[in-house]
Amino acid sequence: MDKFVVYKSTLKGEVEISGSKNSALPIMAATLLTDQECRIAGVPDLADIRTMIRILESLGKEIVFDGNVLFVKAKKKKTHVAPYRLVRTMRASFCVLGPLLARRKKAKVSLPGGCVIGARPVDLHIKGLQELGAHLIVQKGYCIAEANILRGNHIFLGGTFGSSVLATANVLMAATLAKGETVIEYAACEPEVVDLALFLKKMGAVIEGEGTPLIRVRGVSSLSGAEFKVIADRIEAGTFIAVALATSSNIIIKGANHSHLTSVIETAKKIGADITIEGSKIKVKGKSLLKPVNIVTLSYPGFPTDLQAQFMSCLCIAKGLSLITEKIYPDRFMHVAELNRMGARIQRNGPYAIIDGGGGIFGAEVMASDLRASAALVIAGLVAEGKTEILRIYHLDRGYEKLEEKLKKLGAKIKREKQ
């Protein structure tokens, strides 16, 4: 097991953003909808991607992953079972349920794992697929589903905390091979859902309304192989905006789509960043004096929950009181205790966190609890006085491609060591 050792740093230079993990994973699952070959470019080399490769291989796919390009084709031997030993590490793996059901008429998929960020039920997945005509039961930790024929339906996918990206993806994929028209109301609008829909269209699916809360799908009899390139990772780009902001650094972020980051850029400007857009470049200039703000996480295009922790690290050094309200995952505050170990003054009350910033951050030994919390601790380490040791960084390797190498190229004092 590895750890990061981090020291206070000022950064400067350019960083290239990798392809989106949250886009690539459902697109990989969508290859189960065809036996023809698919070529997917821009796939980041991450632990989660490698896990999905193993899941697809266990389900009868032959995969070559070379230079961020994924080649997927079918083998003769197929199964419909996605086992716990693979699915347990990653929530996005549950996205194989819809494609398996649509293509192979049955599926047995372990209930998913992933980061410990609070309750994330799969009820919307089950509801949506049931309304397409599937029979599903949850038994001994598995979701077992059967459907001789899927039929289009009008499906409302709103949940307690808004729309669900992965439930939208699962129902969308299943609907492509259902008979008749499916209308998904309260669909997730995230760019990753749009990317999945564009891939499915290249395979021959008939879809309208992606990127809006109302998606229409007209089922077809079969889908073909396709070539596709996934979008840049907006969460990685947002993380580097937070890095520049916290460390008062000048960083040029290359390859990201700034239109996917509107709420993040506006929030960073309020805190004190100077940000300019030049084509595919986002130029971020951090300032030495940061301002407190209030942040509310919301479904896209609101402020993303996946950047809440990173921006909390920034607010720890912004003089004054800030308030973060977590409306997507109300328990997603595992990083609060670790930031407080570094001298931050954060008080949590239910889905709210009050940050009394400006008191200084100091190096300490801290524990990464989940993917985005890990990034928040790295940012805190880059502004802390003294040495910060971040344990259990395997979480980071699930979602950030070569993070320490990218930071080192910008001048960060960070190294990976055996724990």
Q: With contact defined as beta carbons under 8 Å apart, do 373 and 334 qualify?
A: yes
115 is catalytic: yes
Task: Give the C-alpha separation, 138 to 152, whole Å.
Answer: 23
pLDDT at residue 28 tops 80 = yes
Topology match between the domains 24-229 and 232-418: yes
CB 368 within 8 A of CB 3: no
pLDDT in tens, 147-167: 999 999 999 999 887 889 999
How is domain 232-418 classified at the CATH fold level? UDP-n-acetylglucosamine1-carboxyvinyl-transferase; Chain (3.65.10)
pLDDT of residue 113: 57
Query: pLDDT class for 419, splitting at 50, 70, 90?
Result: confident
Instruction: Please enumerate in sequence order all residues whose Cβ is within 8 A of that of 127, keeping only pairs 6 or more positions apart, or say none.
Output: 155, 157
pLDDT per residue as tens digits for the range 89-110 = 777 788 999 999 999 999 999 8
pLDDT in tens, 48-72: 999 999 999 999 999 999 999 999 9
Task: Starting at the earlier edge strand, list the strands of the sheet with 214-218.
Answer: 154-156, 181-185, 214-218, 206-208
pLDDT digits (tens, 9 = 90+) for 363-374: 999 999 899 999
pLDDT digits (tens, 9 = 90+) for 111-142: 875 444 444 578 899 999 999 999 999 888 88
Which position among 38, 115, 143, 316 bears the catalytic label?
115
Instruction: State which fold the 24-229 domain adopts.
Output: UDP-n-acetylglucosamine1-carboxyvinyl-transferase; Chain (3.65.10)
pLDDT digits (tens, 9 = 90+) for 391-417: 999 989 999 999 999 999 999 999 999
- In the chain, what are the domain boundaries? 24-229, 232-418
Mean pLDDT of 351-374: 95
